[in-house]
Amino acid sequence: MDKKLLKQLSLITDEEKEILAGSQDINRSLYYKSEGSMSKQNEVDASLLLARGKLIDIRPHTRFIHFPEHTHNFVEFVYMCSGSTKHIIDGQRLTLHEGDLLFMNQHARQEILPADKDDIAVNFIILPQFFDSILNKLEGTSSALLDFIISCLTDKDMGGNYLYFDVSGVLPIQNLMENLIWIMLTSPGNKRTLSQSTMELLFLNLLDYADRIQVSGSSYEQNLMIQLLNYMETEYKEASLSDFAERNHIDIYTMSRMIKRRAGKTFKELLIEKKMSQACYLLKNTSLAVTDIAYSVGYENTSYFHRTFRAMYGVSPRDYRFNKMKETRDDTGH
């Protein structure tokens, strides 16, 4: 991380000065609503950390003190800038090292052990609505894995409440996190647009490293679904439910029912969506013949590819390409 940025994040805050002066407990008024309010007793409240109208903000993690178990009424990302921090989430111990990312939804029960001076972490406080705009912007991506990751952070009925990304050695993700922190600290005039765009890029890059995602250890199904969706993302041309089930030593009928329950769609439906999404990308961005595109996404029968494409998009692949080219010309004025 940039040395100037890290130096700014390392400054001792007024809250930390009180702790170093002898305070034994966290200052509850900074995190929790008054005891007489409608909020839960140990629920960190977004209204105390986010200015009115904001969907996202950051604050350096407070060091030198133990944070007792608590929940949040917002989504929290923790990025480890330097050193390490120790967390207990839903009863499971987890250590974040430099460059790691931890995402928690509103239902995670988190406890944090005291951090030292050089253990610098940044907490992102994010309201769930922030992800609506990201999903809208990435609508054309049609990634079941992306949808699943975001659902892990926003849905109530997921088996696990956190996602841990071991991405310390992944340069694009590290650069994006540094950019995101810089945007949040410097508050440029177009801060919201920049932060949303950077977060979109972050999610797209994380999709390429789905094998580095760890979810709550108690959520076997959630782990398996992430493996399945990553399998589809990378092997969609030859992917099959029987192959995945065999690789993971699971009964195919059990796997099929779990996919339908978790994703709301069948394996076949998810796979077709992925293949069609890739076909759309190739139609828009290459001059490959339609027959070559059909083959590249796993269809040897081009007639079946045409029927499937038309059923999903209402036009033939040829007309889809023509319409997209026309849209591009209209947008550029050429």
The CATH number of the domain holding residue 276 is: 1.10.10.60
Does 147 share its domain with 15? yes
Does 182 share its domain with 38? yes
Does 230 share its domain with 177? no
Please give the full DSSP string across 87-145, using - where no structure is assigned: EEETTEEEEEETT-EEEE-TT--EEEPPP-TT-EEEEEEE-TTHHHHHHHHTGGG--HH
Burial 51-71 (b: 16+ CB within 10 A, else e): eeeebbbbbbbbbbbebeebb
Structure tokens at 51: 């200015």
* Tens digits of residue pLDDT in 255-290: 999 999 888 899 999 999 999 999 999 999 999 999
Does 27 share its domain with 157? yes
Q: How far apart are CA 137 and CA 221, in angstroms?
A: 28
Task: Say what the pLDDT of residue 11 is.
Answer: 96
Tell how many helices (H) and how many strands (E) occur in the chain.
Answer: 14, 11
Does 57 share its domain with 170? yes
Task: Say what the pLDDT of residue 172 is.
Answer: 95
Q: What is the band of 294 on the pLDDT scale with cuts at 50, 70, 90?
A: very high
Stretch among 10-14, 202-206, 214-218 having the lowest mean pLDDT: 214-218
Domain boundary among 175, 199, 215: 215
Task: Say what the pLDDT of residue 1 is.
Answer: 87
Structure tokens at 236: 């969609």
Q: Is 35 helix (H, G, I), strand (E, B) or coil?
A: coil
23 DSSP 8-state letter: -
Does 205 share its domain with 236? no
Does 97 share its domain with 111? yes
Task: Say what the pLDDT of residue 125 is.
Answer: 95
Does 105 share its domain with 253? no
Does 199 share its domain with 319? no
> What is the chain's length?
334
Residues 6+ apart with CB under 8 A from 51: 57
Domain boundary among 153, 183, 215: 215
Does 29 share its domain with 139? yes
Domain boundary among 162, 196, 215: 215
Stretch among 171-185, 192-206, 289-303 having the lowest mean pLDDT: 192-206
Taking the CB of residue 159, how many other CB atoms lie within 10 A of it?
Answer: 15
Task: Say what the pLDDT of residue 156 is.
Answer: 54
Please give the full DSSP string across 294-333, using - where no structure is assigned: HHHTT-S-HHHHHHHHHHHHSS-HHHHHHHHHHHHHHHHT
CB neighbour class for 114 (10 Å; exposed up to 12, middle 13-18, buried from 19): middle
83 DSSP 8-state letter: S
Does 107 share its domain with 190? yes
Q: Which of 285, 317, 321, 286 is nearest to 302 (CA)?
A: 317
Residue 88 forms beta bridges with which residues?
93, 111
Q: How many domains does the chain have?
A: 2
Q: What is the band of 91 on the pLDDT scale with cuts at 50, 70, 90?
A: confident
Q: What is the band of 7 on the pLDDT scale with cuts at 50, 70, 90?
A: very high
Residue 103 forms beta bridges with which residues?
77, 163
Q: Which of 140, 141, 124 is nearest to 199 (CA)?
A: 124
Does 137 share its domain with 164? yes
* Tens digits of residue pLDDT in 32-72: 987 655 557 789 999 999 988 888 999 999 999 999 999 99
Task: Say what the pLDDT of residue 326 is.
Answer: 86
Q: Could you tell me the pTM of the whole model? A: 0.74
What CATH number does residue 15 fall under? 2.60.120.280
Q: Which of 72, 64, 80, 75 is nearest to 27 (CA)?
A: 64
Cβ–Cβ under 8 Å, residues 142 and 273: yes
Domain extent, residue 124, equals 3-215
Q: Which of 305, 311, 274, 277 is nearest to 289 (CA)?
A: 305
CB neighbour class for 270 (10 Å; exposed up to 12, middle 13-18, buried from 19): buried
Residue 92 forms beta bridges with which residues?
89
CA 211 to each of CA 118, 174, 214, 237: distance values in angstroms, whole numbers, following the listed order: 29, 17, 8, 19
Q: How far apart are CA 119 and CA 316, in angstroms?
A: 56
